Amino acid sequence: MAQSFRLPEGGVIDRSKSLRFSFDGRSYEGHPGDTLASALLANGVHLVGRSFKYHRPRGIFSAGAEEPNALVQLGEDPRTDPNQRATQVELFDGLTAMPQHCWPSLEFDLNETASLASRFLPSGFYYKTFMWPNWKLFEGPIRHAAGLGRAPRLPDPDRYDKTYAHCDLLVVGGGPAGLAAALAAGRRGARVLLVEQDSTLGGHLLSSPDSEIDGQPAAEWVEAARAELESLPEVRVLTRSTCFAYYDHNFLGVLEKVTDHYAPYSRPQHLPRQRMWKVRAAQVVLASGAIERPPVFRDNDRPGIMLASAASAYLRRWGVKPGGRALVLTNNDSGYRAALDLKNAGVDLAAVIDLRLAAEGPLSAQARDEGIPIRSGHAVTGTQGHLRLRKAFVAPMDGEGRRVFGGGEPIECDLLAVSGGWNPTVHLFCQSKGSLEWDEQLACFRPARSMQRNQAVVGGANGTFALGEALREAHAAGLQAAEAAGFAGSGSERQAPRAGGEGDFLPLREIYLVPSIQPVGQGGKHFVDQQHDVAASDLLLALREGYRSIEHVKRYTTTGMATDQGKTSNVNAIGIVAEHLGKPVPEVGVTTFRPPYTAVTFGAFAGRDVDGLLDPERTTPMHGWHQAQGAAFEDVGQWKRAWYYPRPGEDMHTAVAREVKATRDSLGILDATTLGKIEVRGPDAARFLDLVYTNMFSTLKVGRCRYGLMLKEDGMVFDDGVTSRLAEDRFLMTTTTGGAANVLDWLEEWLQTEWPEMKVYLTSVTEQWATMTISGPKAKALLGEVSDLKLDSETFPHMSFAEGRVAGVKARVFRISFTGEMSFEINVPARYGLAVWETLIRAGAKYAITPYGTEAMHVLRAEKGFIIVGQETDGSVTPLDLGMNWIVSKKKPDFLGRRSLFRPDMQKPDRKQLVGIETEDGREVLPEGAQLVESNGAARPPVPMVGHVTSSYWSPNCGKAIALALVKGGQARMGQRLYAPLADRTVACTITEPVFFDKAGERLHG
């Protein structure tokens, strides 16, 4: 299809190449350099979507990030992105886009009837249904009718990158001001990062290529600036990169779209799709420009109505005529730029409607000189045209600008370019908590007081609209930033770039709500927020209903809360509210600016921390062996631990039962590497351990081991493990797998903040050692065969350790047991872990050595009634509750948690206490977490809960189900019956001692 609205020449596009794309199923052509919006307009397509609430036809309104209407669904599943601004989507060959939120078609949308019912759908309608008659009546239809694009249905196939970045100066914005600042600082050698959201540098100069800077045409100056910046080794320029967030201490987020502008099939495979930059900047210069403000008039949302600056941009940057017959509505001199550009491009220009009483300013004068008809003191009172603007009505206003006279003269036009002044793009400045002031002359909010050190706002973003002034301001800010970062000037530096056109920004006429013939709200809509379909009548309704704070008005009407965050609507809403309340605009104030400036896809936040890299998977030296044996793994913190080793045909239950049985019958082997290990050294090591454990360690003899329980200050169990005395002043502490890091932090905290006088050093050696536990009646026999240790109980008794060689490797061996069987915990340096493990497996074959996983370990220890911290304890359990009074020293004057432990409430007999539970039929394994009650289900609720099951297993060695539970006053309830009410039945059970197997503990000694 011909690009019938493409001008024969001009624009920053490559006419030598054509790109095919489709929109709404139809095929079109554009050129490299086009956005989807400019290419659509070149093909005469204005209608691109339907509005959020009323399904009104909407067109392309702007040429940038502020676009409220032209949102499209880009691409196809799984590479589809909703709510993409056609004005910022770079065209590529094969691009496909669909309009959003219309059914059955863009031209004919059944939901447009919502427009007819709009008087019954005022703002706050949604909230009111919560009160009356019933939200549920409306929820379905509203959810169906309202909304924007749709999320992809398939997992995202793209890769995303994240990086940290540091710089002396971050410049946001690659327009003239940003370039001037970056050049000034970059030339001094400062590390400068310049980010520009557009695909190319230049900012608004791209739409006014004939402006002059330093005597050069703007386009040439921009090109020279780009080349110079690229030649500076410490300067990095990022295009297609949006600074979307500005946090405290000059920490900023930048989203770089790395390959979005390639056709999906030609995207370089080695590059990520997008990259998130987390920038720490010593200095920040915000040169984010300004966004034109549209005047609010009746039916101001039709396709064909666009910002005057956008009309100029389409003409000059993209060589596209945005219409055949144009009308311009403005309240300031800058609107005449569009009029002149339209006329020069040969567009039939009907007139400029100037809300000011008299057109003044250099551009106005030039337009008058060129014979453009100007109607000052006039207003556009309404428009017509369903899928495209057809005519506008123009009438003279009274002196106050409150009323219009007459019925309004119809003027045929398919383009209405509008300008209501300019808003500095203060989003990032405000995100960084800077405050604004109202500039009476320019009628806009400008940065007033920065809340970040080392921050400057320059150019349009600072309300410095004249090019020459903006360049000077930016240059000075760049120099100052370089100076502050330690880069002094040489004395022979270049001056600020010079440009004409200073002071040509004349006062505008502040009319936020352009009057129409009928009162506001009747006969048409004055849209304020086009994306959320909020009209002036909605704001007035909110005021009538008593809302006064602009934050409340915003939330009630949802103005400014759409994906564009009110870039073209917020100041108008504030102006209308101010006017209606009879207050000055600054007294109404602004709403809060929050990140992101424009939407950021979740993929970019996730980066590569997904799938296999979501979180570190920590593995032991024997991990590969477990995998080769087909082990199932359990996550314990970040560790992958072998859970059980199913043989062919075995399920978890059978595998675990086999492992448990084999260990008690002959020999089992467990990978216990993940246990935390801390070397505690120093003359005060024993005294320190006496304070952090409930029991005594200073009495422990060298070469012996002792189990210890650690409490928090509240007296609750925090961690446990065996600690061995390696030498007089040297201990090796072990901790639970999950608690290792917390315990080290906890001990360091006490050493560093409470007991700094103690001479103790802690060193984590968790991963220095590969740890394997052999357990069972044959453990001693096996160890005897592979080591040079003397294993008789005199030399190597229970709860002691020895050093020697195991499988030829120097090892520390601890004779300690968590199964109740004779066990040896063999520690070798991690690099030898696999070799030693494999030797044990080989040598143990004659004893049918059976690797057992964490599940079997849990069963084995539960048979013995040994607790697991985090399973039997949950931060509210004391040693007394666990029946472990024996481990709480009565002699020590103090230890962590002691004071809490001996408070009366902690000694109460009705606290939940650890008991054993056996089900009545002996076979039923209760679910862990089951609640326990005293009645069998006949009692009426509420039924008091007396306890809960903490561990529950089938015990092949006992031949019955066993469980541990915390039960109120449990220790005094031995033999009592309790009930576990489950979803479909109630299970009767009996309270027992928590030791089920080898109660005398004889097996420890072989």
Partner 1 sequence: MVEDFLRQSPLSHLGLATHARAEIAADDGVALAERPFRTVITLRGPGGEGAFASAVEQASGLKLPQEVGAITGEAEGRQLLCLGPDEWWLCDGNSDAESLLVALEDELAGQFASAVDTSDNWFALEISGPQATDLLAKACPLDLHPRSFPAGRCARSLLSKAPMTLQKLDESPRFRIHVRRSFADYAWRWLSDAGREYGVSVLSA
CA quadruple 181, 186, 188, 190: dihedral sign: positive
Nearer to partner 1, 829 or 969 (CB): 829
Q: Which stretch binds partner 1 (CB under 8 A): 114-122, 163-171, 431-439, 533-541?
A: 163-171
Helix/strand/coil for 635: strand
Proportion of the chain in helix, strand, coil states, percent, rounded to 5: 25, 30, 45
The full length of the chain comes to: 1006
C-alpha closest to that of 669 among 866, 859, 834, 823: 823
Q: Does 399 bind partner 1 (CB under 8 A)?
A: no
Nearer to partner 1, 485 or 1004 (CB): 485
List 708's β-bridge partners, or say none. 721
In whole angstroms, give the CA distance from residue 212 to residue 761.
Answer: 69
Nearer to partner 1, 137 or 613 (CB): 613
Q: Which stretch binds partner 1 (CB under 8 A): 616-624, 661-669, 782-790, 897-905?
A: 616-624
In whole angstroms, give the CA distance from residue 69 to residue 470.
Answer: 31
Q: How far is the CB of 234 from partner 1 (least distance, A)?
A: 9
Q: Does 767 bind partner 1 (CB under 8 A)?
A: yes
Q: How far is the CB of 815 from partner 1 (least distance, A)?
A: 23
Q: How far is the CB of 162 from partner 1 (least distance, A)?
A: 6
- DSSP annotation of 613 reads G
- DSSP annotation of 125 reads H
Q: How far is the CB of 499 from partner 1 (least distance, A)?
A: 34
Q: Does 237 bind partner 1 (CB under 8 A)?
A: no
Q: How far is the CB of 770 from partner 1 (least distance, A)?
A: 8
User: How many other β-carbons are positioned within 10 Å of the β-carbon of residue 741?
Assistant: 14
In whole angstroms, give the CA distance from residue 599 to residue 277.
Answer: 15
Q: Does 161 bind partner 1 (CB under 8 A)?
A: yes
Nearer to partner 1, 492 or 753 (CB): 753
Q: Residue 965 contacts by C-beta under 8 Å, 6 or more apart in sequence? A: 914, 915, 916, 917, 932, 947, 948, 949, 950, 991
Per CB under 8 A, which of residues 545..564 are in contact with partner 1? none
Contacts 24+ apart (CB under 8 A), 187-190: 187/228, 187/232, 187/493, 187/494, 188/479, 188/482, 188/487, 188/488, 188/489, 188/490, 188/493, 189/234, 189/482, 189/487, 190/234, 190/481, 190/482, 190/485, 190/487
In whole angstroms, give the CA distance from residue 916 to residue 128.
Answer: 56
Q: How far is the CB of 856 from partner 1 (least distance, A)?
A: 22
Q: Which member of 324, 589, 682, 969 binds partner 1 (CB under 8 A)?
A: 682
Q: Which member of 620, 663, 800, 952 binds partner 1 (CB under 8 A)?
A: 620
Q: How far is the CB of 824 from partner 1 (least distance, A)?
A: 20
User: How many other β-carbons are positioned within 10 Å of the β-carbon of residue 155?
Assistant: 9
Per CB under 8 A, which of residues 879..908 are in contact with partner 1? none
Nearer to partner 1, 610 or 845 (CB): 610
Nearer to partner 1, 674 or 775 (CB): 674
- DSSP annotation of 753 reads I
Q: How far is the CB of 812 from partner 1 (least distance, A)?
A: 12
Cα atoms in the Cβ-side hemisphere of radius 13 Å centred on 99:
28
| Sheet with strand 409-412: strands edge to edge | 378-384, 391-396, 409-412
Q: Does 142 bind partner 1 (CB under 8 A)?
A: no
Nearer to partner 1, 151 or 488 (CB): 488
Per CB under 8 A, which of residues 826..855 are in contact with partner 1? 829-836
Q: Residue 193 contacts by C-beta under 8 Å, 6 or more apart in sequence? A: 165, 167, 169, 170, 171, 235, 236, 238, 279, 281
Q: Which member of 107, 615, 635, 894 binds partner 1 (CB under 8 A)?
A: 615
Whole-angstrom CA distances from 360 to 112, 317, 327, 413 are 42, 27, 18, 25
In whole angstroms, give the CA distance from residue 73 to residue 49.
Answer: 10
Q: How far is the CB of 272 from partner 1 (least distance, A)?
A: 7
Nearer to partner 1, 643 or 866 (CB): 643
Residues 792-831 vs partner 1: string with x where CB under 8 A? ---------------xxx-------------------xxx
Per CB under 8 A, which of residues 265..294 are in contact with partner 1? 270-272, 278, 280
Q: Does 764 bind partner 1 (CB under 8 A)?
A: yes
Per CB under 8 A, which of residues 188..217 are in contact with partner 1? 191
C-alpha closest to that of 534 among 68, 63, 46: 68
Q: Does 629 bind partner 1 (CB under 8 A)?
A: no
Nearer to partner 1, 16 or 752 (CB): 752
Nearer to partner 1, 20 or 608 (CB): 608
For partner 1, the binding residues (CB under 8 A) are: 161-166, 191, 270-272, 278, 280, 608-609, 612-613, 615-621, 623-624, 639, 679, 681-683, 759, 761, 763-769, 807-809, 829-836
